[in-house]
Structure 1
Amino acid sequence: MSKTTLNSSLKYDTAEIMGALYGPGITGLKGAFDRKWVKELGEDIAGLYEEALKRPGGAVGRGPKRHYVEIHPEDIRGFVDLVTHPWVKAVCESVLGPEYKIVEIGFDVPNPGAVNQPWHRDFPAPQDTIKGRRLNSLAFNVTTVDVEPDMGPFEIAPGTQWDDASEFEHEMFPPKEFYSRYEGRAEQKMPKMGDISVRSALTIHRGTANHSDQARPVLVLGVDAPGANNHERHDLQITKKFYDTLPEDLKGRLMCRIVDELEVIVQGHSIEGLMMGEA
């Protein structure tokens, strides 16, 4: 596992990071973690997913055979490794500034039989982006499997984080007559275990149909610049016992509630329009 450097920007180029996220809207780092670490992450997610499906409101449908589950940071063994990785820190510092905040941790699971999602953004573009032309949030993704073409790869239309959404439904879903634009730009991502990616959730994207017999779980980490307020869609909780074990410089990065005991999360970040029948 890579250890955090004192200054992440010494190792990773700020201009290159900003160019990727302000241009295509997505970038990544291959081999950020070893496969043993990812295998443990996959085990943790599998257990959490099984538990979530058993309780009302434990998972939110993102279309047939597809779920999202928000979790607690201490539910996964590798949380601290992830958020203190020097590349993750460098990306956040470069795009969101030195006072960025971690606001979300969860996972998506496209199961066998999942269908193409509609092209979408994860939420409406904020005024910082519409008027200020500034990105104020990022989403990191870590796959727990080696993605193959038949497993419903993530598909993104680079550069579309700047698209005018005035004709989009809920400011998130472009009308079907716009689809040719996104299909013409579409890139499918096939990361391997150990890779990590980061994107603007405003870049138009979708999950594709999973024709395989294997699920494609992916961890999601949400990070905000000051004032972005995406924490209002989530409920990041950390027990005082776990909080006390965290590195001091990480504690100030967490937009969370400190609790004596973790409370069950009722999934609240439902993306209107992705509810294409029962999950």
Structure 2
Amino acid sequence: MTPSTIGTDPDIAEAVATLYTDGIIGRKAAFSAEWADAMREDIEVAFEEARSRPDGAVGRGPKRYYVEMHPEQMRGWLELVDHPWVRGVCEAVLGPNYQIVELGFDVPGPGAKNQPWHRDFPMPDETRSAGRLTSLAFNATAVDTEENMGPFEIAPTTQWDLPEGFEHEMFPDKALYSRFEALAVRKYPRRGDISARSALTLHRGTANESDKSRPVLVLGVDSPGAGNAEHHDMAVTRGFYDSLPDRVKAHLVCPVVDELTPISQKHSIEGLMMGEA
């Protein structure tokens, strides 16, 4: 995918249109099931390490955790960020100088409760005034999602809802829930599928009534100046950085270091700590 072809690629054009209308778009079988299985192995290693130290994992509700990781902790990271559809969507929505700012994962475990409807951050001024999306969250499931595993639920079109009556501009009052529930769509991705969404689109994790965890990868990408990088501590080593194609290096704004340091989580969303318990 190159800048000259993005504008004429029907898959990318459809993705942009859908992101601006529904707030979420999926791509089936973007990767192999084997790629997703390797991702799950890497998530499990990172999750065990993160939970062994203070601030390694942050709660996002009962039995639900979020952990950030460095790109080198995921064997398939380069394949993810260099996928033509991912690059094309980033460039078309966020501009040619888009920035990769976050790599992490959510783990809703058995017993996780319904989350409150929420956004991941307040609506930026540019979105409010100019109707422009300035960030995207890509999600890749590590398992084949089943109905009782607490599937992700999203209310399409709500990325444009003004945050009137939203606590911290992120959490709508429960009096508004009937609107979101009327719009709500549950997602059942399978290993290898990927989605892109605006994190402003109202969403929630639902109750996991199974005996299985439902880990999902999160890749956060910004327009220049969007400001989400300050909430994350992603880094790469010099050797890893030097091994990357220039087209990927151009979108990394994280530090290049001699040695990686375990990440202490900064992107805590206080309103999600208790869920609906």
TM-score (norm: length of structure 1): 0.96
Aligned to 1:248: 246
The alignment status of 1:220 with 2:189, answered yes or no, reads no
Give yes or no for contact 2:136–2:222 (8 Å, CA) kept in 1.
yes
Could you report, residue by residue, the CA deviation over 1:50-92 in whole angstroms, capped at 9, with x for unpaired residues? 1111111000000000000000001000000000000001111
- Flag the 1:250–1:172 CA change in 2: closer, same or farther, 3 A: same
Q: 1:181 is matched by which residue type in structure 2?
A: R
CA distance in 2, matches of 1:40, 1:175: 40
- The gaps in structure 2 that reach 5 residues or longer are none
CA distance in 1, matches of 2:234, 2:126: 24
Aligned to 1:64: 62
Give yes or no for contact 1:12–1:90 (8 Å, CA) kept in 2.
no
Aligned to 2:265: 267
- Say which of 64, 88, 91 aligns to 1:90: 88
Q: 1:271 is matched by which residue type in structure 2?
A: I
Q: 1:135 is matched by which residue type in structure 2?
A: L
Query: By how many angstroms is 1:123 displaced?
Result: 0.3
RMSD (Å), alpha carbons: 1.3
- Aligned 1:93-108 pairs, distance under 5 A: 93-108=91-106
CA distance in 2, matches of 1:163, 1:40: 38
The alignment status of 1:235 with 2:233, answered yes or no, reads yes
* SS state at 1:147 partner: coil
Aligned residue pair count:
274
CA distance in 2, matches of 1:249, 1:95: 17
Q: 2:225 is matched by which residue type in structure 1?
A: G
Could you report, residue by residue, the CA deviation over 1:196-215 in whole angstroms, capped at 9, with x for unpaired residues? 00100000000000000000
Query: By how many angstroms is 1:13 displaced?
Result: 3.7
CA distance in 2, matches of 1:6, 1:67: 37
* SS state at 2:270 partner: coil
Q: 1:30 is matched by which residue type in structure 2?
A: K
User: Between the two proteins, what is the percent identity of the paired residues?
Assistant: 62
- The gaps in structure 1 that reach 5 residues or longer are none
CA distance in 2, matches of 1:198, 1:55: 31
Query: By how many angstroms is 1:11 displaced?
Result: 4.3
Query: By how many angstroms is 1:255 displaced?
Result: 1.6
* SS state at 1:178 partner: helix
- Say which of 197, 200, 209 aligns to 1:199: 197
Q: 1:123 is matched by which residue type in structure 2?
A: F
- Say which of 124, 136, 139 aligns to 1:138: 136
CA distance in 2, matches of 1:230, 1:194: 27
CA distance in 2, matches of 1:113, 1:189: 19
CA distance in 2, matches of 1:68, 1:53: 10
Q: 2:80 is matched by which residue type in structure 1?
A: L
Q: 2:125 is matched by which residue type in structure 1?
A: Q
CA distance in 1, matches of 2:15, 2:140: 18
Give yes or no for contact 2:163–2:172 (8 Å, CA) kept in 1.
yes
* SS state at 1:169 partner: coil
Aligned to 1:41: 39
CA distance in 2, matches of 1:242, 1:197: 26
CA distance in 2, matches of 1:232, 1:47: 25
CA distance in 1, matches of 2:87, 2:44: 27
Query: By how many angstroms is 1:132 displaced?
Result: 1.2
Give yes or no for contact 2:26–2:195 (8 Å, CA) kept in 1.
yes
CA distance in 2, matches of 1:272, 1:127: 22
Q: 2:264 is matched by which residue type in structure 1?
A: V
* SS state at 2:186 partner: strand
Query: By how many angstroms is 1:128 displaced?
Result: 0.7
Q: 2:153 is matched by which residue type in structure 1?
A: E
CA distance in 1, matches of 2:250, 2:9: 23
* SS state at 1:92 partner: helix
CA distance in 2, matches of 1:104, 1:34: 23
CA distance in 1, matches of 2:34, 2:151: 23
Give yes or no for contact 2:136–2:220 (8 Å, CA) kept in 1.
yes
Q: 2:64 is matched by which residue type in structure 1?
A: R
Query: By how many angstroms is 1:166 displaced?
Result: 2.5
